[in-house]
Amino acid sequence: MPPDDPVNLGRTPEGAPRPVGPKALVPAELDRPDSAELYAALDLGTNSCRMLIAQPKGSQLHVVDSFSKSVQLGNGLEQSGRLSRSSMARTIGALKICRRKLETHEVKRMRLVATEACRRATNAAEFIRLVDRETGLPLDIIEPEEEARLAVVSCAPLVSSKTEQLLVVDIGGGSTELVWIDLTRVPRHDRARAIMRLHSGFQPDGDSLFPAVKVVDWISIPLGVATLKDQFRDVTDDAARFALMSWHFEECLQEFSPYEDAAGDSDPGFQIIGTSGTVTTVAATHLNLRRYDRNKVDGLRMTTSQIDRVIRGYLAMGPDGRRNDPRIGRDRHALIMSGAAILQALLRVWPTDRLSVADRGLREGLLYAQMSADGVLDDGPF
């Protein structure tokens, strides 16, 4: 997965003079945010452990510190139904780093969650107790609905004012969440804020305060980049494995009610927002970025044909080519084709010239939800 952006913690420009003396404060200390303003969100998934520490800035959030590491918590889960000792040990090591960051910044408000791997593992309760004993962190296993709506909330700033039908797709390591939202009754200027209001829960027919927001359907499919790859690990031919993964995932989409009304061509009022390492990696490849740049990727619009061209390129490379491609990265090369298979299936059903790439997800949704609940975000434009 592309790395998090480096965070500016108030360092002075090279060559700038620094104050001296026992009571002097360097600019980093002067600029350090008040710990009372800080919030943290941690997302422990099937493949990665990721955390953000941020403070509210108007209607947005400002990232103060971040952490991301591939821990492969779900390794072997598909076969055994349990989290392995080695996977738990790797994850505990990453969580200890997160704890030190939380202590350094003196963060008091936080939400630390685990998703599909812990939902499925028969020894998840044992793992949560181990996390508490070894790190003292309050890890909470969340249900698929909460994971889906928080992913939606994180993408609110990317919703176009012209969008009438919105599909948000979050491709994770162990599961994929899809949410279809009808915005036709929402005034154009209020559509992004209307999405933000979903942090308190999905209301399929709207609610009394905001009846114009309608969640048509949502689904959590227990297939992500890691679990889908594991299911087809015995297929040796690269192209055949990709095709089987893609068609298998599409079969799972048939339980999603908008699948029955899938359009054969692109609707100008339809927008897909894709949030995952798969989507951002495809975008980085499309842009030919040798060094990942979030500012160029987050919010990028891509067409079905552009995405197909990237996926065909991945297939042409083969496993060795993908392993050595700097645009994919060492942590992503083994999972990119299962993610691409999911993405291809989605675009086969809902082709669009308006797929928005979101370098954001559950962590940002957790932060927005906490800040909204505390009333510290402005209700201004995104």
Q: What is the CATH number of the domain that holds 216?
A: 3.30.420.150
More confident residue, 59 or 63: 63
At 323, list the tokens. Answer: 């392993």
Average pLDDT, the chain: 85
Task: Kindly state whether residues 98 and 184 are assigned to the same domain.
Answer: no
Given 123, 145, 167, which residue is the final one in a domain? Answer: 145
314 and 337 Cβ atoms separated by less than 8 Å: yes
Task: Kindly state whether residues 288 and 163 are assigned to the same domain.
Answer: yes
* Residue 372: inside a domain: no
Q: How far apart are CA 344 and CA 8, in angstroms?
A: 37
Which of 151, 154, 155, 121 is CA-nearest to residue 139? 121
63 and 53 Cβ atoms separated by less than 8 Å: yes
* Residue 55: inside a domain: yes
* Residue 3: inside a domain: no
- State pTM to two decimals: 0.83
Task: Kindly state whether residues 161 and 296 are assigned to the same domain.
Answer: yes
Which of 15, 45, 18 is CA-nearest to residue 30? 18
| pLDDT surpasses 70 at 9 | no
Given 145, 160, 183, which residue is the final one in a domain? Answer: 145
Number of domains in the chain: 2
Task: Kindly state whether residues 273 and 189 are assigned to the same domain.
Answer: yes
Q: How far apart are CA 220 and CA 200, in angstroms?
A: 18
| pLDDT surpasses 80 at 137 | yes
Query: What is the distance, to the nearest Å, from the Cα of residue 284 to the centroid of all Cα atoms in its chain?
Result: 16
Residue ranges making up the domain that contains 225: 151-362
Q: Taking the CA atoms of 382, 4, 308 and 147 in sequence, report the sign of the dihedral they define.
A: negative
Which of 245, 258, 310, 303 is CA-nearest to residue 282? 310
84-88, 124-128, 169-173, 209-213, range with the lowest pLDDT: 209-213
* Residue 218: inside a domain: yes
Q: How far apart are CA 89 and CA 262, in angstroms?
A: 44
299-338, pLDDT tens digit by residue? 999 999 999 999 999 999 999 999 999 899 877 899 999 9
Give the CATH number for residue 87. 3.30.420.40
Q: How far apart are CA 132 and CA 236, in angstroms?
A: 41
Task: Kindly state whether residues 228 and 84 are assigned to the same domain.
Answer: no
12-26, 260-274, 313-327, 356-370, range with the lowest pLDDT: 12-26
* Residue 9: inside a domain: no
Task: Kindly state whether residues 171 and 95 are assigned to the same domain.
Answer: no
| Per-residue confidence (pLDDT) for residue 1, from 0 to 100 | 43
Task: Kindly state whether residues 116 and 186 are assigned to the same domain.
Answer: no
Task: Kindly state whether residues 140 and 174 are assigned to the same domain.
Answer: no
Query: What is the distance, to the nearest Å, from the Cα of residue 327 to the centroid of all Cα atoms in its chain?
Result: 19
Task: Kindly state whether residues 170 and 118 are assigned to the same domain.
Answer: no
Angle at 146 between CA 107 and CA 279, to 5 degrees: 90
| Per-residue confidence (pLDDT) for residue 14, from 0 to 100 | 33
Residues 6+ apart with CB under 8 A from 83: 73, 74, 77, 117, 118, 121, 123, 124, 127
Given 95, 111, 145, which residue is the final one in a domain? Answer: 145
* Residue 13: inside a domain: no
**Pairing state between β 109-114 and 39-44:** parallel
Task: Kindly state whether residues 141 and 247 are assigned to the same domain.
Answer: no
**Confidence at 32, pLDDT banded by 50, 70, 90:** low
Task: Kindly state whether residues 162 and 237 are assigned to the same domain.
Answer: yes
The end-to-end CA distance of the chain, in Å, is 26
* Residue 377: inside a domain: no
* Residue 78: inside a domain: yes
Mean pLDDT of 282-291: 94
373 and 55 Cβ atoms separated by less than 8 Å: no
Following DSSP, what letter does each residue of 243-278 receive, concatenated?
A: HHHHHHHHHHHTTSGGGGG--SS--TTEEEEEESHH
Task: Kindly state whether residues 180 and 328 are assigned to the same domain.
Answer: yes
